[in-house]
Structure 1
Amino acid sequence: MNKILLILFFIGNILNTTTIHGQNNCPLIPCPQSSNRINETFQLSNRCVIVYTEEFEPQAYLLQKELLRYTSIAVSVLPDKETQNSNIICNIIELKKGYKFNTEGYSLKMRAKSITITAGQPSGMINGIMSLIQLTRLSMQQDTFIPVECWEIEDSPLYAWRGFMLDEARHFWGMRKVKQILDWMAFYKLNRFHWHLTDSQGWRIEIKKYPKLALIGGIGNYGEEYTSAQFYTQEEIKEIVSYARERNIHIIPEIDMPGHASAASKAYPEFSGGGSPKYPGYTFNPGKDSVYTYLTDILKEVDALFPSQVIHLGGDEVHYGNQDWNTNKDIQDLMKHEKMKNLKDVENYFFQRMADSLLLIHNKVAAWDEVADSKLSPKQTIVFFWRQNRPEQLQKSLDRQFNIVLCPRLPMYLDYAQDTLQVHGVDWRKFSCNSYQKVYSFSPQDIPVKYPQNCNILGIQANLWTERIETEDRLDYMLFPRIVALAENAWTKEMNKNINSFNVRLKKQFDLYKKDHIYYSDPFSPKETGEPVR
């Protein structure tokens, strides 16, 4: 009996020196669902080999490429078939198939001589790879190797939709900046990039059948009407889409309609439904059949570029500039023929026809929460709830069983000021400051609605409108660190979230931003990074 107790005592001591249970000590953002510190260190060097099973070959080369980019360490890559009968004596990073994981789940098991990332799908493998990349980048590099703390992690996301929207219609940022944003989204396991490509101030995507959309509609920015045309060619779009897919990011393009169409109206005024004295050419014309053909042709080209099979049609703020509809003969004839009572009926008619066009090319319809009043197919529609002061729009969406993405402007609009010290930028500070803490702590329960037991909340998203963001420094300043808070909120279960732990982990990220020339906002020492004027 004494011998048994003695053996158990020694086993307990061994376990205590090997594994330290400390969820909040894990440096990763977002915080994983389960993590245990292993009292060992893996040496990452050019003597390491990535070994992969067949289905994870693209992810193996992604890991190799990212390690080289961030650490200058070149590791080898081999399929597991070539290693089965060999005596590899170097450290191994193994990517292998597992069957217990959901689509984006993974496990990461690290020891001194080996690392194993297991996942059921490529998306889960990419999430595991990004955890390893982050642990590596947070480690102190030596001359020829990086000692990486060992962890055991079991992880999967809270939400399937973890999104960020960038407005390039008001100010154009270009491929280099978009790829940098995609890199950081992948780093923090965000997986939906909502790309606002058209608005009144600019049309930023080439449409071959209607070239003037980009060549004329692409002229100007917000507040600068005559800057040279800026837009993405279709080849550039394909490159960005491929870059995002490699990193488990689906791109959702937005082609705004029937409002916010002034840039398109400049290019092809024959399809305009007019506007108002303040917003001329603001709408497409719902009363012309040729308009539906025109817009459907555009959407067919967009569909061919984006494999996500979701296209966002906007649908917001039509009433800002639809006054000309009251006197437009085509629209008045339509209202009489269809027995419409008001302009909202016209708006819903237009949206139903365009939604039908999307469904015919096998795309789901995404739109802002104004469409909660429509009769669109719930299963084929994603409603983006943005007006936190209109909770009834969310309630309608829930009651009608639409798919829903929560992005209420309080606190999920990142063009809002971050704190009361901010001076420049948007004029919405009178409403609220959208601090990173508010982004971090946002919950669906903050919105006064009744959630059914099986509601279709896909996830959450933050939106960055760029009317008053003119430089990359200001773009970065408004994005970081709030996008990091968004990532943890979207990924980590409430029981594992802790703002104090997050703050400790967030501070460790700042050196990474400096290396990537990110002009971030430091909420702990605001004077360290002053607010950019524009």
Structure 2
Amino acid sequence: MRISVNFILLVLLCLSPVFFNAQSPIIPEPTKAIAGKGQFLLDKNTSIASSDIRLQGVASFLKAQILTQTRIPLHTGDFHSKSRKQITLELVADESTGTEGYHLTISPREIKITGTTVSGVFYGAVSLVQLAVENTPKNGEVPINAWEIQDQPFYEWRGIMLDVSRYFIGKEKIKSILDWMAFYKLNTLHWHLTDATGWRMEILKYPKLALVGGVGDHFDPNLPAQYYTQSEIQEIVNYAAKLQIKVIPEIDMPGHATAANMAYPQFSGGGSEKYPEFTFDPGKESTYGYLTDILREVNALFPSGLLHLGGDEVSFGNQKWNLNKGISELKKKEKLNGLKDVEHYFMERMADSVFSMNAKVLAWDELAEIDLPKDKTIIYWWRHDKPEQFQKALEKGFSTVVCPRIPYYLDFVQDVNHRSGRKWDGAFSPIEAVYGFDVNHIVDGEKYGNQILGVQGNLWTETINSEARIDYMLFPRIAALAESAWTKTRNDYEEFESRLESHLELYDKQNIYCYNPIKPNLVPEPVHLLTE
């Protein structure tokens, strides 16, 4: 009997996994996702196997997440086994996925995740977790639809900033936020540890910084000192590293120094009526040694090799610099014309200290004015009303992180009817704006592509007085932020919102008190304590 070639091809096609174009439910949206035919049934007999000892952490993460999210305990398997029901993790040489990209294949027989780096395989595992939680476990099984996904991020810098000075965020809540950052493939936590309101980090050489400077918060100046011990700092940094997240500390200077000056007033440069004792003293030589000692301890605890020095809003409280004898002498000695020159001199001195530690300096966009080494400096563009500062930073060759108030300040309200939080001349930060922000509307993204590192959402805490309000301001905008950082082309908010629906259900299951942009009146806004 003669069998036709077409019949053979038809049989082979039926036996092979079939993939077709469909919309992936993953956030952030993958670069390429093709739906397959059939499902992989995840159950207690499923194993995870890796080809490289460096992937053991990813395997542990995946087992823990699947257990937490689905109650299904996976076990370790043999990478070379041909058995069914296996998830394999593998490092491969594949330039097409980039350093953080991955390839995820799900068929009824197996799940395979590959990447060129541990980070890439980790993000593939994260996508698998998102697909697993799409379906409810039944009879000890979770069906996961077949997919062929090839994915990589558009931006290398995908961040969240947490201000713990004005409202102290406890260690366990920080870890929870890190978990959600990993869930959305965000890779940078910018930790705003010091400000005028409070100093939140233990410094061994200067213990009063935390014990005195850590007293009070934005709402209650009499709260007992709240701060992170150095062992807690290490614990959080190590926890983040397992989630492929680097942690960047910010020690604000020369302004926003009130809390530090309460502890060690001999280094204060004074302030103004509204912002008392706001600055460090640039005219006292011992100030530089004091701050350098602090930064040495900070740098020792944060392996990222990145130190954010603030450098913003100094003019709020530098009026007493005009009456400072040491600063007058400094101006004559260094031929400085005014207070702005003094500020620049101070930051250049402190930058030199950071460079001597083999670390990079990060600062807000005010420092775009200073001629610091381009390969050792990163500028954060935050003043959305000053796009010229963004342009200036790029023209001077600085690598830049994009975090403008509108729409990336997450303390700004997200609904026109919200009463708590901030607005800027009526403007605020709805989730649609976070999702759709395009840097090309400000500068030529193609021209400066290599210098624009990525984007970051900043959660300042003047309007935060509870963990419920933290969640309400972060969720679900964290999902939109992640998509704006990972996915190059975003022009269909309605499609994004359709993917967001299942995530809103997940937040509810995990007791995340969040705003619902689809049903905006579903959850009432937690109101902060009005003190101003």
Q: TM-score range by the shorter chain?
A: over 0.9
Q: What are the residue-to-residue correspondences of 1:351-500 with 2, within 5 Å? A: 351-426=347-422, 428-447=423-442, 452=447, 455-494=450-489, 497-500=491-494
- Secondary structure of the 2:483 match is helix
For the Cα contact (< 8 Å) 1:130–1:186, is it kept in 2?
Answer: yes
| Counterpart position of 2:128 | 132
1:32 to 26, 30, 33: 30
Percent of residue pairs bearing the same amino acid type: 47
- Secondary structure of the 1:394 match is helix
| Counterpart position of 1:41 | 39
Q: Distance in 2 between matches of 1:7 and 1:296?
A: 74
1:178 to 158, 174, 179: 174
| Counterpart position of 2:527 | 533
- Secondary structure of the 1:405 match is strand
Q: Distance in 2 between matches of 1:475 and 1:33?
A: 30
Amino acid in structure 2 at the alignment position of 1:95: L
Q: Distance in 2 between matches of 1:301 and 1:431?
A: 42
Amino acid in structure 2 at the alignment position of 1:18: V
Q: CA deviation at 1:430?
A: 3.0
- Secondary structure of the 1:526 match is coil
| Counterpart position of 1:289 | 285
Change in Cα spacing, 1:152 to 1:373, as seen in structure 2 (3 Å) is: same
Deviations 1:23-46 (A, max 9, x none): xx2100000001111112111111
Q: CA deviation at 1:9?
A: 6.0
Q: CA deviation at 1:158?
A: 0.3
Amino acid in structure 2 at the alignment position of 1:150: A
1:97 to 91, 100, 115: 91
- Secondary structure of the 1:62 match is helix
| Counterpart position of 1:263 | 259
| Counterpart position of 1:21 | 21
| Counterpart position of 1:67 | 66
Q: CA deviation at 1:481?
A: 1.1
Change in Cα spacing, 1:33 to 1:343, as seen in structure 2 (3 Å) is: same
For the Cα contact (< 8 Å) 1:395–1:450, is it kept in 2?
Answer: no
TM-score, scaled to structure 2: 0.95
Q: Distance in 2 between matches of 1:371 and 1:33?
A: 35
Amino acid in structure 1 at the alignment position of 2:126: M
Q: Distance in 2 between matches of 1:451 and 1:313?
A: 29
Change in Cα spacing, 1:170 to 1:37, as seen in structure 2 (3 Å) is: same
Q: CA deviation at 1:473?
A: 1.3
TM-score, scaled to structure 1: 0.95
Structure 1 residue runs without a partner (length 5+): none
- Secondary structure of the 1:203 match is coil
Q: Distance in 1 between matches of 2:435 and 2:99?
A: 24
Q: CA deviation at 1:472?
A: 1.2
| Counterpart position of 1:511 | 505
For the Cα contact (< 8 Å) 1:398–1:452, is it kept in 2?
Answer: no
For the Cα contact (< 8 Å) 1:417–1:429, is it kept in 2?
Answer: no
1:50 to 48, 51, 54: 48
- Secondary structure of the 1:202 match is coil
Q: Distance in 2 between matches of 1:431 and 1:460?
A: 23
Q: Distance in 2 between matches of 1:220 and 1:65?
A: 37
Q: Distance in 2 between matches of 1:91 and 1:369?
A: 52
Q: Distance in 1 between matches of 2:478 and 2:402?
A: 15
Q: CA deviation at 1:13?
A: 7.0
- Secondary structure of the 1:420 match is coil
| Counterpart position of 1:276 | 272
Structure 2 residue runs without a partner (length 5+): none
Q: What are the residue-to-residue correspondences of 1:123-272 with 2, within 5 Å? A: 123-272=119-268
Q: Distance in 2 between matches of 1:9 and 1:118?
A: 30
Q: CA deviation at 1:5?
A: 5.0
Deviations 1:170-189 (A, max 9, x none): 00010111111101100000
Q: CA deviation at 1:6?
A: 5.3
| Counterpart position of 1:76 | 75
Change in Cα spacing, 1:450 to 1:40, as seen in structure 2 (3 Å) is: closer
For the Cα contact (< 8 Å) 1:106–1:128, is it kept in 2?
Answer: yes
For the Cα contact (< 8 Å) 2:311–2:347, is it kept in 1?
Answer: yes
Change in Cα spacing, 1:330 to 1:168, as seen in structure 2 (3 Å) is: same
Deviations 1:465-505 (A, max 9, x none): 000111111111111111110101110121x6521210100
- Secondary structure of the 2:521 match is helix
Q: CA deviation at 1:440?
A: 0.6
Change in Cα spacing, 1:516 to 1:462, as seen in structure 2 (3 Å) is: same
Amino acid in structure 2 at the alignment position of 1:72: R
Q: Distance in 2 between matches of 1:72 and 1:461?
A: 33
Amino acid in structure 1 at the alignment position of 2:418: Q
- Secondary structure of the 1:359 match is helix
Instruction: Indicate the RMSD between aligned Cα atoms, in angstroms.
Output: 1.8
Amino acid in structure 2 at the alignment position of 1:114: E
For the Cα contact (< 8 Å) 2:91–2:118, is it kept in 1?
Answer: no
Q: CA deviation at 1:111?
A: 1.3
Aligned residues between the structures = 524
Q: CA deviation at 1:528?
A: 0.7
For the Cα contact (< 8 Å) 1:47–1:90, is it kept in 2?
Answer: no
Amino acid in structure 2 at the alignment position of 1:65: A
Q: Distance in 2 between matches of 1:143 and 1:69?
A: 17
Q: CA deviation at 1:450?
A: 8.3
Q: What are the residue-to-residue correspondences of 1:3-18 with 2, within 5 Å? A: 3-4=4-5, 18=18
